[in-house]
Structure 1
């Protein structure tokens, strides 16, 4: 299922022509009453109220009672410090003490403290009680305070009767029953809790289900998707084309479209309400289909031809590449092949494939161990970087940019093949400097690719993974690979990263290069590396420098992205076929009633990009969507593909950013929604793949512990693939194939 749906068009003769890719919404309407905490104004969770018709929930009248778990946690807490049990020698002791008070005058106040001092725990924690006992107290008095923790609060009259000490406590034993009877009020000190529950109902069961659902949240069905790979393909564009620049709002930047209203040469922006002065006939460049294309006459003068790009093989030849694996042979008996030998065979096959398919394409070779060697196209003298040069970012970049690659593969195939054949494994792994110099070389030719192959984490030079007992990522290494990825995006370079199975390469950090540039992240074996390299070599770049901007009416915001702006800008960079972008939006609570009074709300997607022939293009898609509340949206009408792809992309992004708990909550909400949809209509085979994605990511998130907020290479590979998830059949077929092969 492709999210950018095709709308067939026909010319005057009825012959089908090009189609219009549109924005695809998960819900037919804009749901105005979704809340981030998963509850509506009625206090009933959205999923339970709307999507599960088999469950009837009675709304609570009045304000909801306070949550029980906090009160339940306070239950075992003591109200005061517990008194230790009296030693066994204390009961007989009072029998020898009656003569003591009789020998002392009753009016001597200083004598009272020494008497309870024989009971160390009592006076230290309960001074009022000990000071209020008369000297002639019977022997029953000592055990009473130990069984009455809240005595100070239950005996206020004692302190008021202190002047007539001896006369106020003659009937000591008779005053004990009231003291012991003060214990029931301890349990009755929480009447509101018991009174708020219906009689006969369990004390905990009623409130627990709502709390469990809130913990998972309620899925937001306000999601829009766009297949950028199709939108940058100008051959599929059917709208009008203009050589002029679009007319944009002076406040928010939204473009004039067929939905705009112009009165007296004033255009009131339908997104922000700003009044713009426009010329007469400005709306003439806008078509009626909501798909407007603006082509700029400006282009890069240094562009020569479509095959003027560079393919760089950046290969690990460290000592660990000598590890062997047993593979079947054509003769029947198994043979042992090292990782480097498998890599050499894969590179030889890739060079032959590029020679046949793109003979005018430039190809370069870079190797790394404890030094970085630039072979280029194989015709010139190699350039080595070692020692201090491996830690100087600017020096490495300058060396890569200055290295010339003058010849195409048709002229250098033999030299490159020989360079690959002569490779030998030894030394450490200077992965970071090698990746940097490879990107620098490719930056001279926008649309170029770097294929990085390694079997271990970087341990020398820039991007070094610090060895430590904890597997947590190094902040310095993460910053290096993030910075290099952004620099590659600015230069129009795609980086694909491949690691060998059974190794620890810190793919969560190195994979940032591919994640930022639109490349592939994969784990290969000696037997599959050749296939994966040939697949990564395919020249499938459709556009570079792509930026997507989403406009919604003022009062709409974008959860997880921008909670205060109705405009969202997303820098995409390089685009290949099948690239899909999903965006989640929601209505601010104070705008809910305002939007419900309208019939529709406008949305606009602007794409700015550079085509393969270096032409600057702006494409504008605009449409309206009706508004509704969740109570009028049946679950069976929701687009499972859009919701599934968005869930995969969002949760993978949150997990890789360290926001694992947020990812878990969103996964739980989407899984609940998926179950509710399945109750109203059958889930077809293609839609089941999205449920499998959710289950896989849930398992990975659950495996991440609080002690180690890091991902294994296999888990990182899955998460990076989910970040680039697509509903395109070719994508998830390849994804399943990769999952089964590793």
Structure 2
């Protein structure tokens, strides 16, 4: 509106002249303007929902040694004993009534072993404690799956308990409806339910197959009742029972099922995060896109790292849902997205966002364009739905000067932003188009550019961070390029999915990092880094 003259406004992007009748207080002021499109919902809950969907199949019995001094299990062994621990103690009383310290030849007697299930139980218990302090009104529900799907809820009400078995595991609509019928309003705040959930958690026993698809579907139905809900899926194996099973089914077919479930979740404002156990085939290539679509995270961790990863997911709440971005620039220029032809108008359906969500928009001259302008104006419109149910629009209008001097452009470059764009673009190309060679070439091109830009100490520090990420990513891209028809390994999928959802803060030098915002869980939607 900077060119409003006699109630006539000339659009900076298309040149059209329109008559505008506005009061002075209605005129946009400054580069950033916020608008309220719809008021908060009266029935919007002020507490969110976290659903833990836990694999208790037989493979969760696999054990690993606990490093000496590792403190995570001191929390749970002081209060709760797992079903496995109780069975072991009873067996030892029968087999070794004298209590002698018996070990096999060559076996160390000072090492304690812990199963994947026990790591999961301890990690969830610690998160319950932390949630009760940070988000006391948050509601938590527990769902487990093996041969069947068992909804435990918060452990208080019998009508929350539900076991789904048999032919029902093969029907998506039946499972979704079963989840929707669970009254989540009856769930108590985590400050009141944490002990009861922990009691239910530590009596779980590992047995049976893996009905991951049915368990997740039921959880989605349950979480769809409350926007800004989180589903944390913890598993160490592929689904082999019911819908979403990959046994005797083409991987693409299973992937289509999980992606359709993710799109439904995204429309309902539900975030899904996947935590897989390292050393097992978790099917990240099948499940990974589900997390990206809903704004969640994907990671493969060692059993003893579960607690740290769960904390990072829960500490990063959803700030807004239904986020859509529409960007404009001059017809001479175009936004570049995933190697497609640049367009002067770009639309993105982002979905759910957290404080760590960063979406970079790259733009440049179109191929057929000649010459240029001294400045490049642009406008970005971000529509979104807040946690209170209100619908808002944020409009960012600005311009950037252009230069024909390469050295001037490189001197003023934001290295962290360039690094983020390079990494995200390479991962997108590899995951979406399987163009591994092209992804590597683009990555190296950007690396040379960023290397030239890194002149100051801060820029050099950010470049070094970028190089470390590139080395890990390029190693996996090279393996995929050498064997393009092989199944993507969980390690490669872990690297690609984690870096695809990377944030700019991961590449910032120490001087530019803002640690206070993350700690306080305070953040605005920052969909555009300029």
After TM superposition, the score normalised by the length of structure 2 is: 0.82
Q: Alpha-carbon deviation of 1:401?
A: 0.9
Counterpart residue number, 2:77: none
Supply the distance in 1 between the matched residues of 2:235 and 2:416 (Cα, whole angstroms): 35
- 3-state SS of 1:716 partner: helix
1:165-195 Cα distance to aligned partner (Å, 9 max, x none): xxxxxxxxxxxxxxxxxxxxxxxxxxxxxxx
Supply the distance in 1 between the matched residues of 2:409 and 2:134 (Cα, whole angstroms): 50
Q: Of 263, 285, 290, which residue of structure 1 is paired with 2:31?
A: 290
- 3-state SS of 2:240 partner: coil
Supply the distance in 2 between the matched residues of 1:422 and 1:732 (Cα, whole angstroms): 46
1:590-624 Cα distance to aligned partner (Å, 9 max, x none): 3323xx2x332211111111222222221111111
Q: Alpha-carbon deviation of 1:500?
A: 0.9
1:536-595 Cα distance to aligned partner (Å, 9 max, x none): 2336222222212211112322334552631111122222113211112222233323xx
Q: Of 364, 367, 373, which residue of structure 1 is paired with 2:141?
A: 364
Name the CA shift for 1:442/1:342 in 2 (closer, same or farther; >3 Å). Answer: same
Counterpart residue number, 2:53: 314
1:359-438 matches, within 5 Å, as 359-381=136-158, 382-405=161-184, 406-408=186-188, 409-438=190-219
Counterpart residue number, 1:267: 9
Counterpart residue number, 1:453: 234
Counterpart residue number, 1:530: 307
Q: Is the 8 A contact 2:380 2:396 kept in 1?
A: yes
Supply the distance in 2 between the matched residues of 1:707 and 1:730 (Cα, whole angstroms): 30
Counterpart residue number, 2:123: 346
Name the CA shift for 1:280/1:500 in 2 (closer, same or farther; >3 Å). Answer: closer
Supply the distance in 2 between the matched residues of 1:675 and 1:539 (Cα, whole angstroms): 32
Supply the distance in 2 between the matched residues of 1:523 and 1:731 (Cα, whole angstroms): 24
Supply the distance in 1 between the matched residues of 2:248 and 2:225 (Cα, whole angstroms): 35
Name the CA shift for 1:586/1:476 in 2 (closer, same or farther; >3 Å). Answer: same
Q: Alpha-carbon deviation of 1:527?
A: 1.7
Q: Is the 8 A contact 1:540 1:576 kept in 2?
A: yes
Q: Is the 8 A contact 1:652 1:723 kept in 2?
A: yes
Q: Are residue 499 (structure 1) and residue 280 (structure 2) matched?
A: no
Supply the distance in 1 between the matched residues of 2:506 and 2:370 (Cα, whole angstroms): 38
- 3-state SS of 2:257 partner: helix
Q: Is the 8 A contact 1:496 1:521 kept in 2?
A: yes
Name the CA shift for 1:707/1:616 in 2 (closer, same or farther; >3 Å). Answer: closer
- 3-state SS of 1:589 partner: coil
Counterpart residue number, 2:368: 590
Counterpart residue number, 1:726: 503
Q: Is the 8 A contact 1:271 1:551 kept in 2?
A: yes
Supply the distance in 2 between the matched residues of 1:699 and 1:311 (Cα, whole angstroms): 36
- 3-state SS of 2:304 partner: coil
Q: Is the 8 A contact 1:726 1:732 kept in 2?
A: no
Counterpart residue number, 2:341: 563
Name the CA shift for 1:710/1:604 in 2 (closer, same or farther; >3 Å). Answer: farther
Q: Alpha-carbon deviation of 1:709?
A: 4.8
Counterpart residue number, 1:714: 491
Counterpart residue number, 1:326: 65
Counterpart residue number, 1:301: 42
Supply the distance in 1 between the matched residues of 2:407 and 2:67 (Cα, whole angstroms): 61
Q: Alpha-carbon deviation of 1:642?
A: 1.4
Q: Is the 8 A contact 2:450 2:463 kept in 1?
A: no
Supply the distance in 2 between the matched residues of 1:547 and 1:634 (Cα, whole angstroms): 30
1:168-317 matches, within 5 Å, as 257-258=1-2, 261-281=3-23, 284-287=26-29, 289-305=30-46, 307=47, 309-317=48-56
Count of paired positions: 465
Supply the distance in 2 between the matched residues of 1:429 and 1:495 (Cα, whole angstroms): 18
| Structure 2 unaligned spans of 5+ | 71-108, 514-530
Q: Of 694, 697, 706, which residue of structure 1 is paired with 2:470?
A: 694
Of structures 1 and 2, the larger Rg is shown by 1
Q: Which moved more, 1:427-436 or 1:610-619?
A: 610-619
Q: Alpha-carbon deviation of 1:328?
A: 3.6
- 3-state SS of 2:237 partner: coil
1:203-254 Cα distance to aligned partner (Å, 9 max, x none): xxxxxxxxxxxxxxxxxxxxxxxxxxxxxxxxxxxxxxxxxxxxxxxxxxxx
| Structure 1 unaligned spans of 5+ | 1-256, 735-742
Counterpart residue number, 1:672: 448
Q: Alpha-carbon deviation of 1:329?
A: 5.4
- 3-state SS of 2:144 partner: strand
Name the CA shift for 1:634/1:269 in 2 (closer, same or farther; >3 Å). Answer: closer
Flag the structure with more relative contact order, 1 or 2, with Cα contacts below 8 A and sequence separation at least 6. 1
After TM superposition, the score normalised by the length of structure 1 is: 0.59
Supply the distance in 2 between the matched residues of 1:315 and 1:297 (Cα, whole angstroms): 38
Counterpart residue number, 1:13: none
Supply the distance in 2 between the matched residues of 1:674 and 1:426 (Cα, whole angstroms): 51
- 3-state SS of 1:460 partner: coil
Q: Alpha-carbon deviation of 1:696?
A: 2.1
Q: Of 465, 468, 490, which residue of structure 1 is paired with 2:246?
A: 465
Q: Are residue 653 (structure 1) and residue 428 (structure 2) matched?
A: yes
Name the CA shift for 1:666/1:707 in 2 (closer, same or farther; >3 Å). Answer: closer
Q: Is the 8 A contact 1:485 1:517 kept in 2?
A: yes
- 3-state SS of 1:428 partner: coil
1:10-159 matches, within 5 Å, as none
Q: Alpha-carbon deviation of 1:283?
A: 8.3
Q: Alpha-carbon deviation of 1:501?
A: 1.0
Counterpart residue number, 1:684: 460
- 3-state SS of 1:452 partner: strand
Q: Alpha-carbon deviation of 1:668?
A: 2.2
Q: Is the 8 A contact 2:169 2:175 kept in 1?
A: yes
